[in-house]
Amino acid sequence: MRTILLVIACVAPVSIVPAFGQSAPAAPVQKATASSSSWTAPEGRALVDKYCVTCHNGKLKTGNLELDKLDLAHLGDHAEIGEKVVRKLRAGMMPPTGMPRPDKATTDRLIGWMESELDRSAVTYLPPPGLHRLNRTEYTNAVRDVLDLDVDATKFLPPDDSTRGFDNIAGALTLSPALMEAYLSAAGKISRLAVGDVSAPTQAVFEVPNDTAQNYHIDGLPFGTRGGILIKYQFPADGEYSFKVKGVTGYFQAVLGGVKGEQLEVVVDGERVKLFDWDKEISNTTGNGKATPRIPIKAGLHTVGVTFLATNDVPGSELNRPFQRTMNTPGSIPGFLFYPHVGQVWIEGPYGATGAPETAARKKIFVCRPATAAEESSCARTIATNLVKHAYRRPATPADLTLLMKFYQDGRADNGTFNDGIEALLQRVLVDPEFIYRLEPEPAGLVAGKTYRISDLALASRLSFFLWSSVPDDELLDLAAQGKLKDPAVLEKQVKRMLADPKADALVGNFTGQWLSVRSLKTTEPVVNLFPDFDDNLRAAYQKEVELFFGSIIHEDHSVLDLLTADYTFVNERLAKQYGIPDIYGPQFRRVTLPADLDMRRGLLGKGALMTVTSNAARTSPVARGKWFLQTFLGVSPPDPPPNVPQIKDKPADATGNTHIPTMRETMELHHTNPTCASCHRIFEPIGLALENFDATGAWRTKDGESPIDASGVLVDGTKIDGVASLRESLIARSDQFVRVVTEKLLTYGLGRGVEYQDMPMLRSIVHEAAPTKYRFSSIVLGIVKSPAFQTNMKIADANTQRVAQ
């Protein structure tokens, strides 16, 4: 079967799609809308000559720009340069610090005139879309929605490459021979699991992060418990399973834990299946752990909990406050109580497997059940038809069914069962290019260079992968198959329905995780000796806070400007302690209104997660924070540093032998001794220093060592700031640019390609249309979905096409 699948995957019927990387002429599909201006080219030239040409001329060529030669009367012919200038002006990055600059009203008029000129000759940019392979997240979600089966694609497939800030960009999602093998292997494992063809025992290991505090209740576990781990596990078949528990160990594999009399319970779907006496059964195992007896469990997704009864959870009487990161206070330290911690849980089975007759996946797959052998072929065709509709995101064709029925018959032959045939059929579906790729066939007979509206079915896929990172549901597919999705009213209704659906949480996690770099929290490891309270509980709470906050913007359809100004956030007990919010207890998150004394926590700039991922392990980094701020919120990047920049050295010891530990501001001032460094550091350093009250773990502080923190500074445009509040106000003053940046990031994510300078007139049109709603999130998404770039492709000449190996 494996050999047959490999051949099928390589030589199946071809589909013609544009070759990625080939250029295509612009298409005069729709002009963008922009505000007009009464300025003329000579007026614009006078202003550029006065404030810009001093540096950007043919002699100096600063920034590789020669604006003295730029023909402003035909700015549309030089759109790349024009868009670069507009972006810098909107972000307030030019003219540079210390140089004369026009007043804001004049600058705004110049920007408006330039954008109007650029938009006047604009045409919709339609580059070749390339091949869009499902990334790991999309693959996981597609399997979930097609088969009602939860799998973790990270166990089957290697990490995806990212470009333009996201991992769903077509050009980065290549397919190597090794990845093809991984897809084939994954298809075999998933099809066996879905059908229930698993009998040999397997072993799954789950580890609790070693910096997890386990003195507190974990959300989802029974009340009256503390610590442990909560596991969602897909049991492959009806049978018996055992659960081995290992405690956290120290030197010589001795199990740690100074508190005696602890009891550890194992629960499945909330029901206790075993109660361990920790002292007698686990703590004396020298790290080998202890297994439960084999327990009968039905196939399917179940929740497994391993947790301690909170019988010894009493208020601490220590004179010294214990660390939040409980692993920093082991029992060897006098005066501190150390509760035992769960380190690993092993799930083994099934033993005595008897199949999987009643799983959600089987109910999803087996839409019919043959009563006799004569009905099997007809039922198999019905199952194939249903699978094709959801996996290929379109109605099944006779050719699809002919091909799949051959695989069914091969699986059914040689004493195979009906289930064996369906398993073979399903395995073939999961390796088909129409499942692994998002293919969009071109209309027949279209002349090269002509634009065309993509089909409703292709539009349904684009929409669902944009908002759900998964396949369309039945409602969306049925509307597309009927040709109704292209209707603007129907499309708008579907977009709002999909944003309100819980599956839109995929947009929250995937978009914010990458745009705001929250994904990197998982690998963030602040130095323990310097930040002994930072633990995995706080790491997880930080991520959850950002996701809930951004999710509230989506689900409540707020203005995207609320991302900067919202006076509320979401906290649980652990995060509330970090922020200094009183009277919050338990692991559940709740929405809280921020009081006046926590104004620094308003909006994205106050989120501890973002301050943590923009710091180094041992200290803050004003340079990293400043560059991140410019790139994330204003869409501009400062120049790259010159090569071989030396490390800043500590100041030497004074005459008494004392070495002064400089504050971060004093350290940054050493950059200013080099004029080359100073010219760039003046752009982003004041931003980073304005955030210095947040330490490397996002905690608020007023001192750097023993010295009061000075968060004052001057931005490039001359704006004076003195901390996070004034920095936030400076960003609100440029809210028009922030909205454009959010729209640009969403457009990149939604199109699955980078946004180029040719796209900017269309982007401005989307923002312009969203303005009457005060930039509600849904209005920006609707603008993207209704845009020509989202709904239109261009026919590529045959010479610029490639055959897709299927």
- pTM of the shown model: 0.91
Cα–Cα distance for residue pair 378/408, rounded to 1 Å:
11
Helices (H) and strands (E) in the chain, counts: 28, 19
Looking at the predicted structure, is the pLDDT value of residue 376 above 70?
yes
Cα–Cα distance for residue pair 690/713, rounded to 1 Å:
7
pLDDT at site 574: 95
Q: Count how many Cα atoms sit within 13 Å of the Cα of residue 579 in the half-sphere of its side chain.
A: 32
pLDDT at site 338: 73
Over residues 428-458, the pLDDT tens digits come to: 999 999 999 999 988 888 888 888 999 999 9
Cα–Cα distance for residue pair 494/467, rounded to 1 Å:
11
For 124, 259, 289, 532, 791, the CA distances from 342, given in Å and listed in that order, are 57, 14, 10, 20, 52
How much is the average pLDDT of 311-336?
A: 54
Question: Which long-range CB contacts under 8 A does 578-585 form with residues at least 24 apart?
Answer: 578/538, 578/541, 578/608, 578/698, 578/699, 579/608, 579/700, 580/700
* Nearest of 308, 316, 314 to residue 340 by alpha carbon: 308
794 — phi, psi (to 5°)? -120, 135
How much is the average pLDDT of 68-86?
A: 94
Instruction: Provide the token pair at 448.
Output: 């090269």
* Nearest of 333, 340, 359, 320 to residue 247 by alpha carbon: 340
* Nearest of 407, 406, 366 to residue 387 by alpha carbon: 366
pLDDT at site 799: 41
Over residues 5-62, the pLDDT tens digits come to: 443 344 333 333 333 333 344 444 344 444 445 678 888 899 999 999 999 988 888 8
Task: Give residue 382's pLDDT band: very low, low, confident or very high (50, 70, 90).
Answer: very high
Instruction: Provide the token pair at 427.
Output: 């395995």
Placement of tokens 């160990």 in the chain: 249
Over residues 609-650, the pLDDT tens digits come to: 999 999 999 999 999 999 999 999 999 998 777 776 666 665
pLDDT at site 492: 97
